[in-house]
Amino acid sequence: MSTQPISRVGIIGLGAIGKRVLDALQHDHLPAAAYAAIDHVVHTEAFVSEHHLEVFNDVQHLIAWKPDLVVECAGHSAVVETVPTLLRAGIDVVIASIGALADKSIKDALDAAAHAGNAHLILVSGAIGGLDALRSARSAGLDKVVYVGRKPPRAWAGSPAEEEFDLAAISQPTTIFRGTAAEASIRFPKNANVTAAVALSGVGFEATQVELVADPGVDRNVHEVQAVGSFGDLSIRLANNPLPDNPRTSWLAALSIEEAVSKQLQSLVF
């Protein structure tokens, strides 16, 4: 891990979250840094010029650019295809799409790559907070952890729920998925990364129970965690505003990436 100030930042994926993180880093956290991105979407010359951004098509070009830190905002495929190469090259990576770690083979590959490159794999908490309490409770033993995610029906568009339900016709809270965190993270990668954060902080992917609900009575993304163990009972509830550019994603998810980068800056030895 580098102990030098971060002066070159790479971003994988310039969708709604990636663009918001880029803006925040450039304006609030690292205004003097240089920025590059891997993105397969063609951006306008005006956008690239405004952000003083270099855009690459593959990871080797980004590595040659020599970033001090890379932030992944592109989904599970990027975690599998791009992040291990960066870690082996000795580059620290902040991962937003932590649902990919539901697959143990992917998690093991990332751990091995980080070890080989002496790099840090930094996971973000996403759209939910309070997980430090869950991690503390785990040390005394957890009997049960349940996560319930509620979003307006329209926010589940583009997910498997759209194939099984008429989302526009839902008039009362409707469970669109019930199962383990492992299943939820794989089936709903764009909507349920928070389940991975809960699973990693508590009893694991297979033991964490998940219910996803299309609820016309809410206008925000609501995340609830209930845990029971030797410590007692724990209840966490957050009602997050969605990103203006993407109703499927909680605004807090983007903010958690900024916070992870901020912590990384504070940990550096100058």
Residue-wise pLDDT tens digits, 95-123? 988 888 888 899 999 999 999 999 999 98
Percent of residues, the chain, with pLDDT higher than 90: 56
Strand pairing class (142-151; 34-38):
unpaired
| Number of domains into which the chain is organized | 2
State whether 237 and 136 are in the same domain. Answer: yes
Nearest to 108 by CA among 100, 209, 72, 181: 100
Domain membership flag for residue 268: no
State whether 47 and 141 are in the same domain. Answer: no
Domain membership flag for residue 269: no
Note the pTM of the prediction, 2 decimals: 0.83
Place of tokens 């990871």: 59
Domain membership flag for residue 256: no
Q: Specify whether 223 is catalytic.
A: yes
| Domain stop point among 74, 96, 123 | 123
State whether 198 and 136 are in the same domain. Answer: yes
State whether 184 and 78 are in the same domain. Answer: no
Domain membership flag for residue 73: yes
Domain interval for residue 163: 131-249
Q: Which segment of 120-129, 188-197, 246-255 scores lowest on mean pLDDT?
A: 246-255
State whether 160 and 232 are in the same domain. Answer: yes
Nearest to 37 by CA among 109, 29, 260, 15: 15
State whether 51 and 138 are in the same domain. Answer: no
Angle, in degrees to the nearest 10, between helices 251-267 and 16-24: 40
**Which whole number is the average pLDDT over 214-241?**
92
Q: What is the SS3 string spanning 216-234? A: CCCCCEEEEEEEEECCEEE
Domain membership flag for residue 218: yes
Let me know how many helices (H) and strands (E) the chain has, helices first.
11, 13
State whether 137 and 233 are in the same domain. Answer: yes
Other beta carbons within 10 angstroms of residue 64's beta carbon come to 10
- C-alpha torsion sign, points 233, 176, 238, 208: positive
User: How would residue 186 be classed by pLDDT, with cut points 50, 70 and 90?
Assistant: confident
Would you call 152 helix, strand, or coil by DSSP?
coil
Domain membership flag for residue 201: yes
State whether 98 and 139 are in the same domain. Answer: no
Arithmetic mean of pLDDT over the chain = 89
CATH number for the domain spanning 15: value is 3.40.50.720
Q: Pick the catalytic residue from 27, 29, 115, 223.
A: 223
Q: Which residues 6+ apart lie within 8 Å of 79 measured at CB?
A: 72, 95, 97, 100, 101, 106, 110
